[in-house]
Structure 1
């Protein structure tokens, strides 16, 4: 039918004031229906099934073609995606991929109707084409060449973009990629500097810290005594260390609203300036890295100065590899369909601040649009860097960042990178570890250490090591694979030393004992090839024999002992094979180290660094990993060391095997964290809004915080400080525990979510303890919320990455989002967009073999309570992020023990009532105040 409305439609036919706008319809799809505006301006509301037929006849304007296809229930289709145009014209600009996001992006009013929202597609495209047209060739000299190459891959926007730039021959795309794609040629080269001088050992006084904080806040800032007191306390961690191995450690809990970010930036920046060395600020989530980077604008308001003084550090797998991009560009002749993705990647690479593709200035939705293998897949995910042998080494984003970090004042890193550096004794790239750290989100140190100091003898880990050593082995391997083996990475070193070449060959030959491509099918058919697959086949047999796979479509795990027949024999065979691999790896490393000595007068600096990097990677990724596997296999015959817990598992999704193997974790991973990092530092601040659990025992809470952060393993006594939130939680929030919904009945659970989300009119975050429960609720309530004009987004369901989902949720005031732990930890949504949190049940720790070992070690049920209380506290803490925020927390679990209720702030109303009464109270809580 044709919709009745007062919004004028565009005449999207032909040109608009000199622009060659595509003659195409506009399409905006919801869960139930779509708005279709024809090129002649006719506006229709259509069933999605009817739209699915039309799009095969004429490509429409859309916002996020893949998400649109998902809503329509069809395969991806040709479309004029305005997001692609944004990625071309403004490659690093932030834009939420929704109509309201487009309105904010172009500075238009928020659309008042779905028809007005649809018109934004046209308005955004027109604005961007005008912008591209206004740029002269001197400003954007390679744009036309890139657009022509993208046309070769079928980019629909190509003719309009080229016309906007005044190009005459619109329909003759480049026969091969032009120089416009060679962005690496246009990036500035980094330069080496002399080694940094040792830092001074000057302290930071409380007064200096307060004064710096005042400078950061400015004269007009509201007085916040707690923040100044916090900054003063943090200064104590920046005093000189008096005893080796006994750092100054501060545990600081600062409730939301205290202002801890600027509170620790103040003393950290003073120390860096006085002592001539960087302070590393580490976070658990990328979202907080971005927030801290934004706050540092106060410290360095000049962009050029900030670029020198502030560095964002992440692992190599987060950054675009220029060699991967160059090889993908060269492959376009054989793979022309990649031209759109590579063209947009080129545009972004030329404008990016630092090449960071995960949480930096790379638009996360771009990977969803054009494919991960051609975007985030171009990072160095497999440790295949060839360092100075790379033709783009002198322009490498990663190498530039590493060098900048050594001369910076503040390095904003993440726990994962810091832990990896600690586990590797300083890291392959970093040299010495930093002397001073600030760990924000300190409550996650346990989890970060657990990931860093664990070992996994699994099919996927084995396959990755084999690829790292051998590279692409088969001529039938996908041509898109860029796996560079050891021989490729060391080929110029091999050319000058035959013995090095022999050892590389021996290593590659021994690597064929490891898991090969196609292992999943061979294990399912019980036809393993080689000792690794034979061992894993026995592991798989044991897991399936001792679990209930029929009633669990997800991952399975079991004890390592007693073993099934044949497993020990296969383990012994694998151990022999691993030792055969270990020997040439060690010999190759020794040979390279010898060359550093014997050829000391001949090696240039780049070659020396490259040999040193190769030695470290052979040790860390090769011999250390293989030696850990041998140690794990030994424990199958002997006793598992008391500090570890081992188990077998089969990782599954949808009933299909994804991985199989043997796992080892520290029971308490903060012990190696303390030994490798905390005791090596001179000063460390560990801070969070939820550092203590709130059990009711102040001393017990602090002892727990010390155990979870590794401080209990460090000599001396850490300083403890706590600053309560200035917010009035009793007035601003409510907590409801629903007592008449069965948590094991998904029909009741879904109905509860529906009614609660309707009561708050969106702005709701639904948290789940299992993905299966999330999927079930999403399928049941999505259409009903859509009828009420409320959009529902879901992790694991929508064709969007998690960071993009959170961006959308933040921007769309009345949308709702379903997610699991990753959403709970990563979401920071101040204001009205998050006003309701619903947890599907008490988030008890999952009963795993690892959890059982930790429960026994840390105090039985007290450990369960502690873990659960912290999760509730962290989830509740998402509600109020600003002084005027208001919110409701709901738990759909009548079995919530009263002893866990002190996870919520003192004085907050906690009511255990029925669903219907809760709905009425939520409506009343959010109702606008009566007009007097």
Structure 2
């Protein structure tokens, strides 16, 4: 099949992404005939404007090469002659062809109208398991050499090879039936496209040579979510025998170094399990805390046959534990264990929904939704878990509506009654989790399980919460409620939807089943009539939801700040109570109709009604979902504003008429809820993080989490310091001479210091901000001078993903990265790529943030100093997290430069100084700082 097409592979290099204002600087094209390269076309184009430094560094194209380049019109004419009417192959064709067509039009030359195959699109359909679908990643998957990446001629050649390898991959791994399914989806999305032509030719080839095709795929691309470690002769070991200098780890790993802190923490965790206590354990960077709790967990579960649940905040740590750390433990430890990686219900595909939508996808999805649906068939064919997060082609941010129609959900799950139960991804992983010693989850699932009476995790005795410092911020939202137009609209779509001449959903399906049933005519008529009455009621009244959430969005737009608006007094928002009262009436009537339908069904013999259990369970799910909505809406109609934060929110959609408002409601105190829903149900908990204590005390965290309400002696504390020598490896220097951050001159003065510090240091630098406003100001002022100085400036929020920014930052050792909130933690950049960390301001919470503002008012009403009880502790923890980005191993060295003079001038400044392990030096002139930086980084 790899000789199926003759084509020209094409790539361009440009000075940016703007078709109108940026320029093409290189074009490369390679002709492929019968699967091999036969002829090349390569040309540099002389630009009219200066080429950005970043592009020069990316492409390695020199000014000399461009100076000798052709004029754009001549180059484009030559290209058109070279490609003729051949099929063109590009990686991200919409960019290459779009850019070329704009420039062709500018030069009064005909636009490209050839057939175009996009290897980006094709790879997303057929390779949903690669890390991403960049040219280099796909090339690496096919083991293709990409040494000269971002040069047009080399990228064009690799693009051609990728297509050839894709054809071979499809032939060897994708069954004809699966390809036919993909073809039908593509035809529904848009008939007569180049992708459709590509798929049709593949299918023709497969049909012609079906007898010769491979019987089974060669690939096994997805990982499992279950580890089973069986041991014939288990051997009990002490913590010392595992972590000690003569222990198992020392035997298994060369250059193993004993970490006293790791051993100390492991012993404390094991003791905690054995004594049924709660442990607050802070483990500094480099301690190795994940092994310090995984090993004791496995030892204890083997002794007691109990279960340990481990919860993390981030997906990165969750996957590190399961796919990296546990396999290492498995390799070293002669103890059996079973472990499961478990996520929330909506991460898993519903087999019933998949089968039904695959048969009638044109009834289930709009053509726009089907654009995302086409990335699912190959993933579904090979997945072992049904977890959509492993499908790198499917972007949940943009494909949310598509996924909602396929994801497992609580109220409409038939459980063991489902015809597809044996193939259910969710039930499969939950059964594994039930039988596992270790279950790895995230905080969101932990909290969701708490409020659903352990319906997900079942009973367990021991819990480890890593990244525990995030829990006080996550818990209120998870334990509260949020309602928007999509919540109701998606529910109504499940009940009833029309796609062209087709009706689908729970109620039309019920009508169809009633017509075909063997029940008596009078009952049949009543059932059909009730279903139609319910449909008509929804259709006639549901516009209230659109109107309401449109009003909510508009109210936020007019009166809110940063897309949020707090409800402090109900009388300030009369439209809320008006609409909510109407919605309550709507839900009461809808519930009455659903109950009537259920009553009719309950009078029917199951043998007289096809799929009787399915229909009764669906209506039961409808009743429960209505009740859930009713509880939420009545809570918002009668809010307790003393104990909860209530705020309106909107999100940008690009459509002013879209009902984009959201209602949010969250408890201000979670301590009693945590006691009631979690602490009273488990024997032991380990709370751990690198930053959970403040100045050596756990008082703030314990108070926020309700641990101070437990009996004396129940909670133990442990601080394990980092093994790094911060006095030698790091310094914190403070610009005590700068204006106060609230001063109007602070932005310009901080800019001068940032610029000069970077120019003097000439090392990898990260600048952390507390707001996008400050970040954008600094970026706008630095981009031009740094361009001329050939300093690579990277910035969050400029169309480049977080992971891509970090990748570039690590690769270019003297680059500068500007980041805000998400870069203050969870960023690991060891080595010289990060040697200077600049903190623009101390990381205090925004006091106008609705839930923060409400909590501050509550503290004040209780006679407490809200600054000392909340604003300062959260800032100190955040400051420690920011500081922690700098030193990631024992060889790192660097400086943290703080531009916030409040460390030197305010009473609380000493707390920031004391909360980090490195020496803090306050300077009173910029010259002192420049001199200090110059001496520190001399010889770097």
* TM-score interval (norm. to shorter): 0.7 to 0.9
Change (3 A) 1:903 1:654: farther
Residue 887 of structure 2 aligns to a residue in which SS? coil
Report matched runs for 1:247-266 at 5 Å.
Answer: 248-266=277-295
CA distance in 2, matches of 1:33, 1:254: 51
Deviation of residue 237 (structure 1)?
2.9
Cα contact 1:382–1:464 (8 A) shared by 2: no
Q: Where does residue 673 of structure 2 map in the other structure? A: 672
Change (3 A) 1:923 1:89: farther
Q: Where does residue 318 of structure 1 map in the other structure? A: 347
Q: Where does residue 727 of structure 1 map in the other structure? A: 724
Q: Where does residue 906 of structure 1 map in the other structure? A: 917
Report matched runs for 1:340-359 at 5 Å.
Answer: 342-358=373-389
Q: Where does residue 827 of structure 2 map in the other structure? A: 827
Change (3 A) 1:664 1:252: same
Q: Where does residue 446 of structure 1 map in the other structure? A: 472
Q: Where does residue 26 of structure 2 map in the other structure? A: 36
Count, aligned residues: 838
Residue 250 of structure 1 aligns to a residue in which SS? strand
Tell me the alpha carbon deviations over residues 435-476 of structure 1, each in whole angstroms, 9 at most, x when there is no partner. 2211100011112211211124x543xx51353155375647
Cα contact 1:731–1:908 (8 A) shared by 2: no
Cα contact 2:128–2:378 (8 A) shared by 1: yes
CA distance in 2, matches of 1:823, 1:68: 32
Q: Where does residue 705 of structure 2 map in the other structure? A: 709
Cα contact 1:469–1:507 (8 A) shared by 2: no
Tell me the alpha carbon deviations over residues 758-777 of structure 1, each in whole angstroms, 9 at most, x when there is no partner. 66667544433334444555
- Does residue 24 (structure 1) correspond to residue 9 (structure 2)? The answer is yes
Report matched runs for 1:211-222 at 5 Å.
Answer: 214-215=247-248, 218-220=252-254, 221-222=256-257
Report matched runs for 1:372-391 at 5 Å.
Answer: 372=399, 380=407, 385-387=412-414
56-65 vs 286-295, greater mean Cα deviation: 56-65
CA distance in 1, matches of 2:898, 2:817: 16
Cα contact 1:558–1:649 (8 A) shared by 2: yes
Q: Where does residue 64 of structure 2 map in the other structure? A: none
Q: Where does residue 168 of structure 2 map in the other structure? A: 133
Cα contact 1:469–1:486 (8 A) shared by 2: no
Change (3 A) 1:879 1:455: same
Cα contact 2:309–2:464 (8 A) shared by 1: yes
Cα contact 1:208–1:270 (8 A) shared by 2: no
Residue 311 of structure 1 aligns to a residue in which SS? strand
- Does residue 879 (structure 1) correspond to residue 886 (structure 2)? The answer is yes
Match of 1:464 among 487, 495, 503: 487
Cα contact 1:33–1:47 (8 A) shared by 2: yes
Q: Normalising by the residue count of structure 2, what TM-score does the alignment of the two structures yield?
A: 0.73
Deviation of residue 888 (structure 1)?
3.6
Cα contact 1:763–1:815 (8 A) shared by 2: yes
Q: Where does residue 555 of structure 1 map in the other structure? A: 564
Larger Rg: 2
Change (3 A) 1:444 1:143: same
Deviation of residue 704 (structure 1)?
1.2
855-864 vs 557-566, greater mean Cα deviation: 557-566
Deviation of residue 298 (structure 1)?
1.1
Cα contact 1:317–1:380 (8 A) shared by 2: yes
Deviation of residue 223 (structure 1)?
1.5
Deviation of residue 881 (structure 1)?
2.4
CA distance in 2, matches of 1:677, 1:259: 27
Report matched runs for 1:99-248 at 5 Å.
Answer: 115=151, 119-120=154-155, 122-123=157-158, 126=161, 129-130=164-165, 133=168, 137=172, 214-215=247-248, 218-220=252-254, 221-239=256-274, 241=276, 248=277
- Does residue 94 (structure 1) correspond to residue 131 (structure 2)? The answer is yes
Report matched runs for 1:847-886 at 5 Å.
Answer: 847-848=847-848, 849-855=850-856, 856-857=858-859, 859-862=865-868, 863-886=870-893
CA distance in 1, matches of 2:240, 2:615: 46
CA distance in 2, matches of 1:723, 1:416: 27
Deviation of residue 779 (structure 1)?
5.1
Cα contact 1:386–1:489 (8 A) shared by 2: no
Cα contact 2:738–2:750 (8 A) shared by 1: no
CA distance in 1, matches of 2:536, 2:185: 42
Tell me the alpha carbon deviations over residues 95-127 of structure 1, each in whole angstroms, 9 at most, x when there is no partner. 58475x678767788857853x87256336526
Change (3 A) 1:64 1:833: farther
CA distance in 2, matches of 1:438, 1:395: 31
Residue 385 of structure 2 aligns to a residue in which SS? coil
Match of 2:327 among 281, 286, 297: 297
CA distance in 1, matches of 2:936, 2:147: 27
Report matched runs for 1:37-52 at 5 Å.
Answer: 37-39=27-29, 40-45=40-45, 47=47
Residue 673 of structure 1 aligns to a residue in which SS? helix
Q: Where does residue 396 of structure 1 map in the other structure? A: 424
CA distance in 1, matches of 2:473, 2:101: 38
RMSD over aligned Cα atoms: 5.6
Deviation of residue 684 (structure 1)?
1.3
Change (3 A) 1:614 1:585: closer
Cα contact 2:531–2:597 (8 A) shared by 1: yes
Tell me the alpha carbon deviations over residues 348-386 of structure 1, each in whole angstroms, 9 at most, x when there is no partner. 33333423333xx332x6639x96359766752876754
Deviation of residue 251 (structure 1)?
0.9
Alignment gaps of 5+ in structure 2 = 17-21, 30-39, 50-70, 104-111, 227-235
886-895 vs 415-424, greater mean Cα deviation: 886-895
Q: Where does residue 529 of structure 1 map in the other structure? A: none
Cα contact 2:9–2:156 (8 A) shared by 1: no
Residue 846 of structure 2 aligns to a residue in which SS? coil
Report matched runs for 1:688-767 at 5 Å.
Answer: 688-694=689-695, 698=696, 701-716=697-712, 717-738=714-735, 739-740=737-738, 763-767=764-768
Deviation of residue 686 (structure 1)?
0.9
Cα contact 1:255–1:724 (8 A) shared by 2: yes
